[in-house]
Chain A
């Protein structure tokens, strides 16, 4: 033991001391030889110092103590000084240097689209409305409980999250909504941040809209011609109007934009959940006054030039199911698999998951992301739009043709994957043909656990038998998943079902579809009567996107979430779509292509019953390419859900449309995936 110790010590000292000697050696020798007086003084000084610190010179251990403390301080001081020095250098450095360095390494950067298009002579034309999505909008505190004293006007969500690191429970209390009403709990008012700052950066340095805004500014946009339609993304869409009059505000601001720009219609850029929010808005604004905005039947035609949906989850996203079911997604599940104890156990008394789940389940808006359209869209037990079911067995011999269907490069081998089964309990059930699965109906009675857990979750009202029954049902499709959620979380779903609907309308003229809960579901609403309007769906492709899950029953314990993604399950081959218990499909990492593209590729294409006035639709896909190097940050060709907002090709399209181009001018459809083929397979009355 002692040998390595001394080795390290001598090594360390020889390093530092030789360094010191080299610098100071000449000095000290000079003083010693040339001027003995100084040395004496030094000695006197030493004595004084030692007196001050009451460390007697004659005792060895005394000076030891001094030296240790000394070393610590010395070390800290050195680090600090160096740090400050660097900081100073950094601050005095001209701002052009980082760019210069980047250029030197990567070669000249391409002009950002704003600069490029300005050189072409593009100028600001139509005012632009930005509609942020879920999670990316900022929330600020207007009234809080005692624990949040002094945080008035500070951001609770977005920005730096700074103040709330210190009081996580307080934060949870304020960010959650009331479980029964879906509004703020009494005594708390958390409101959306308004203005462009609401969602330009999510956290410091993590852009959301900032790049788009900067490029718009290059061709002449500014505050007066840009509007960020900020809303509280936790509330159900209609509740944002009831509580904050958000829809009224959007209406009034769009009217103002059109009026101050000489009647030029707006271009709307909704992102993620904002897409559904804006669908809801369009129905709301034309509905007569008490329930709607009373804008009259031609409001949209008069005020909107184009809607450019970015990363649009028109038909929901399977991710939301995993979030609702067990507050997991792929990344969290993977983390759990690596460090099993950390997240699950109540060690440290954290119970992170249950806290998060409780918070998450109070947010009504999350229901809007549950897959819509049921088995018709998302596939049944044995088929799904993304796989070729009919020829599956016939093509067994030619493996290559099933992989890379159409030669466009699927991200994994989709052969034999049953995407339709959104949740399966074990890999076997995910792969076996449906005729061989015996499913047990789970709708039995629920036995209440008598245990009292700190954190309320509806799972605790389920007995073990009920949990087993859920698992025995084995596979769930987009249709039966709703029954499952209704079963495991009845109160929650009851609240959600009053605001959102997930079906497909048989008869759109049925008066029941005037109710606001249908407005955000594109399969249960008609688009407004605005033949000159254009609808774009812009989304990224080429990234593995969660499409289905394999679950297992968690090891029983009283107060935990009873289901988990089974991360131990992997596919058979390298390029299998099944990894870590998650079936991946093509998409932008969050929204599968089928959800983002179907409406524009088929549902609304031409004159259909969902699009009676024949609004033109365009599918624009952006193939993901990872950033070339670290300096590029999040990349200029990214296809992932949020980073897409920094994609140069997308921004260029947006700018061109904002400057007046039509869909045909920018090239109509641009498709890399098989979305048209897949849409074909979806059998829906149009």
Chain B
């Protein structure tokens, strides 16, 4: 029987906010890993074998074993690699609280955000309102804290961080995060001071360019 390959590999796609979560977590823990960019139009055998159920990135492969789904990967990284930072707090209630809000980001932000990207102009106003509501809920949860994890950068910060690169594009769609949720916008700037975040996220203008391209192709066609 083949010996499983040692080490850490991340199957990912440059633009994926879910992949970015994993990159941030790995950077926070200073884990060395091999990054493998997937062509989503032609998925590799390794990806299909590692995530046969969803066939999606990101997938973390650690010593030959695969872990799928970004928030599950981030918790795994926290459990396995000690590092200087704890992604989840130690108090059980605080852990539940963090998981709840990370899950909220999953349930609400991505769905509504990507609907916004794909929608025709008529639907924009309604979606904007819905999205602002979601962002305001997150902003209320953030409150006056430095991070969602209070003094400690943690799971919810990691869950939401990648979406901050989308703010510039939202502005083009008539939704100013700066204006509607100034605390959230400030948090977005604050987290960019962390090396793990700065090196994992893309220039907002790059996201905007891609958005324009996709929109031309699929929405305005």
Q: Do A and B bind each other?
A: no
